[in-house]
Chains A and B, each alone.
Chain A
Amino acid sequence: MNYHINHLKELESESIFVMREVASQFQNPVILFSGGKDSILMTYLAVKAFYPAKVPFTLLHVDTGHNFPETLTFRDKLVEKYGLNLTVGYVQDAIDKGLVTEEKGTNASRNGLQIFTLLDEIEKGKFDAALGGGRRDEEKARAKERFFSHRDEFGQWDPKNQRPELWNLFNGRKNLGEHFRVFPISNWTELDVWQYLAQEQVPLPSLYFSHRRKVIERDGVLLADNEHILKKPGEDVFEEVVRCRTIGDMTCTGVWRSSAASVQEIIAEVATTRLTERGGRADDKRSETAMEDRKKEGYF
C-alpha cells in the first residue's frame, strides 16, 4: 500500500482543515459568494467539511445590480440544494441612500462600490469571519495573503503587518469589531480548480462554457454587451463565440474567445493558455497596484 494522496486531495484536505478551523474559532462566519467558480468550489468544500451536518456558514452575496442573470439563477439553485442561508447586500441601496456615489463615464463600474456594501453587511450581520475564494496565484498582492487575514475595525488590510502563519496553527484572535478574511483555497491554481471541479463533477454556471454572445471590444478586452455599459463612439456590438474565465460584475468582467464547451476542454485550454485569468478584468487594470489598494480598503 502506497500512503500518499494526489495534489488535488491534499489541497482539498487543507481547505477542509481551514474551514473546520473557522467554524471552531469564530462565532458567526460567512462565505462571500460571488457566483464564480471559486466561490462555488468553496461552498462545495464547506459541504464536504461538515458532512453530514449542515454548513455552519451563511452565504453573503454582494449584488451590484449588474449581475449576469445566469449567476443569480445558479446561486438560488445551489442555496436550495444544500439548504444554505443566503444574505444579499445590494449596492443599489447604498447608492439610493446617497452613501456612495456612482462612477460616471464609459468605464464606470460598481466594482469599487462593493467595498462599502460588503463592510456594511459584515457589520450589520455581526459576521466575524468572511471566507473568500481568493487564490494566491491570481494576482501579485494576493500572493502575499495569509489563510487567516486580520482586518481592523474599518475592515482594512495591513499587508506589512501580517501575522506569521506556521505549520497548521492559525491565530484567529481579535478585538471586538474587528474581523477576519479567510482564504481556504489560497494554494489552489486556476488549473487545480478546474481539474477538481471536473473530477468531482460539480455543476457550474453556463457562462463558463463557450457560447455565442453580443460583445464589444475595449482596450483589447471583450466585454459582454449589456444595458449597464455606456458605449464609446466607435465601439460596435458584434457576435463572438466566447466564455467567461472569471465571473464578476458585467461591466468589468471580460469574456474570452473560446470554443471550450466542456470542463475537459476548459482544462486543456487553461493548461496551454498564455494569459492569466484576471487579464480580462478591467478592475485590475486601473493601476499597477489596483488590487493591493482595493484590498487595503476592505475589498474581497
Chain B
Amino acid sequence: MTTSESLTTELLRFTTAGSVDDGKSTLIGRLLYDSKSIFQDQYEDIERISVRRGEEGVNLALLTDGLKAEREQGITIDVAYRYFSTPKRKFIIADTPGHIQYTRNMVTGASTANVALLLIDARLGVVEQTRRHAIIASLLQIPHVVVCINKMDLVDFSEDVFNEIHEQFEAFAAKLDIKDFHFIPISALKGDNVVTRSKETPWYEGPTLIYYLENVHIASDHNFIDCRFPVQHVIRPYNDDFHDYRGYAGRVAGGILKVGDDVMVLPSGFTSKIAAIDTFEGKLVEAFPPMSVTILLEDDIDVSRGDMIVRVNNQPDVTQDLDVMLCWFDNFKPLMPQGKYAIRHTTQEARCIVKEVRYKLDINSLHRQLEDTTLQMNDMGRVLLRTTKPMFTDSYKQNRITGSIILIDEGTNRTVAAGMII
C-alpha cells in the first residue's frame, strides 16, 4: 500500500462473538491469513506449539488466545484486538469470547464497533447464544450486523438450510432494534464466501464477507446532526506568542461545528460564537466526529473540563435523573440498591445514587423480570440513577458518545457497570 492509497483508507471496527466450536477463531484466522496479515514467524510459532501439544494441524485459535491462562485452558477470557487491512479499509477486530459469563467482554467489544459479526453453525441453526449476541448488538446499537452461517460445507452447501436459518433469525430479530442486517453462507475452514466467492453456492447472489466489510456504508455511523463538543482540556500556553490564547480541546461527539456558529456553553448557559477551530496543522473551517480539535470562542467566558459546547437551538437534555440500561460487570459485589457510585459521562465525572432497578432483562429472551432485580456480573437491567450534578445527555440511540456512562466503585476504583441512556 502506498501513501497515496492510505490517504483514502477508512477505519472499520467490528466485533465477533462466538463460542469455542462455532468456528470464530477459524474465521478470524481465515481473514488474517487470506489478507496476508499472519506473519511467517507468528505462523511458525503457533505451528510449533500445536505440534508440541499434540494437536492435529495448526490451531489458528492460538493466534487469538494470548495469555498463559487462556492457552492452558483453551479458552479466551478477554477481549483481544486484531488488525488487518486491505487496500480499501483498515480493520480492527474486537474478538470476544461468547460464553455466557463473558457478556461484559461482548458489551465492551460492541461499544465501539461499526459492524457485528454473528456466527451460526449451519448444523445447529439459531441457538441461545446467537440470540444473546444479537440482543447485545441491538442494545449496543451496532449499526450493521452480518450473520455468517458457517460450516456450510457440512450441510452440503444446502440453500434450504441457509434459508431456514435465515427465516429463524429474522423471526426472532423482528423484536430487536437492528437497522441493517445481512446473511452470508460461508465455510471459514475452506474459505467459501469469506474472501473468494464460492463455486458451491451458485444460489447465493450476495457479496463475500470481505466485500461486505470493505463496502458497507459506515460514513453515517456518526451523528452529524446534533452538535456536541464535550470540553476535555483547557489549553493555555502562557507564553508571549500566545498570550491570551484560551482553547477548549476535545473530540467532536456529534454534529458539524463551523467557525461563526452561535454556540452555548453548558451548564452556564452563556452564549458566544466559534472564533476559530485550531489544530497543530493550522486552522479549520469546520470540525465533525471523530476529530480531535481545539475550539476558541469569541467571548471570554468561563469554560472548563466537563462543560459542553452545543448549538443554541439544539441542546441535549440537562438532567440529574438518568434512565439507563445497565450492564453489571463486577464479580465481587452486585449492584447495590440505593448504592452510591462515581459516574463518568463524556468528560464529566460526578457521583450518583441508584434510585430504582425497574427490571432485570433476560438477555436470552428479552423478557423483563420484575420480581428479581438483583444485578450480578453479566446481568443487564433498567436502572434509574440520580446524579450529584446535571449531565448533558442524549439517548444512546441518538448518540453513542453522549448517551453512554460507566459506573465506578469508589472503594475499589473498579469499573463496575456500563450504561446506555434510554
Does B211 belong to the interface (CB within 8 Å)?
A: no
| Interface contact B81-A136, CB-CB below 8 Å | yes
Contacts of B157 in A (CB 8 A): none
| In the assembled complex, A218 has its CB within 8 A of some CB on chain B | no
Q: Give the residue name and chain of the A residue nearest to B291 (CB).
A: A13
Q: A residues 64-98 with Cβ under 8 Å of B?
A: none
**What residues of A have a CB within 8 angstroms of the CB of B239 in the complex?**
52
Interface size class of A (residues with CB under 8 A): 35 or more
| From A7, A23, A53, contact of B10 by CB (8 A) | A7
Contact A159 B67 (CB under 8 A): yes
Chain A contacts for B414, CB-based, 8 A: 163
CB atoms of A17 and B67 under 8 A apart: no
Given contacts A7-B9, A13-B291, A16-B292, contact A267 B2 (CB under 8 A): yes
Of the listed stretches A29-37, A113-121, A123-131, A168-176, chain B binds A168-176
CA distance A54 to B38 in the complex (A): 40
Point out which of B8, B108, B239 has the most chain A C-beta atoms below 10 A from its C-beta.
B108
- B219, A3: Cβ atoms closer than 8 Å: yes
Q: Is the CB of B11 within 8 A of A292?
A: no
Which of B82-90, B182-190, B195-203 interfaces with chain A?
Answer: B82-90
Identify which of residues 321-374 in chain B touch chain A, using a CB-to-CB cut-off of 8 Å: 329, 342, 344-345, 347
| B104 interfacial contact with A, CB 8 Å | yes
Contact A54 B329 (CB under 8 A): no
**Nearest Cβ on chain B to A294's Cβ, whole angstroms:** 12
Closest chain B residue to A277 by CB distance? B39
Number of residues on chain B facing chain A (CB within 8 A): 80
Contact with B along A270-300 (1 / 0, CB 8 A): 0101111001000000001100100000000
For B238-266 the 0/1 string (1 means CB < 8 A from A) is: 11011001000111000010000000000
CB <8 Å contact, A173 and B67: no
A sample of 6 cross-chain residue pairs with beta-carbon separation below 8 angstroms, ordered by A number, consists of A6-B9, A8-B9, A24-B347, A160-B69, A163-B415, A166-B107
Across the interface, B1 reaches (CB within 8 A) one of A16, A186, A271, namely: A271
- Chain B, 380-422, contact with A by CB distance < 8 Å: what is the 0/1 string? 0000000000000000000011001110100001110010000
CB-defined contacts of B413 to chain A, threshold 8 Å: 171, 173-175
Q: Is the CB of B77 within 8 A of A160?
A: yes
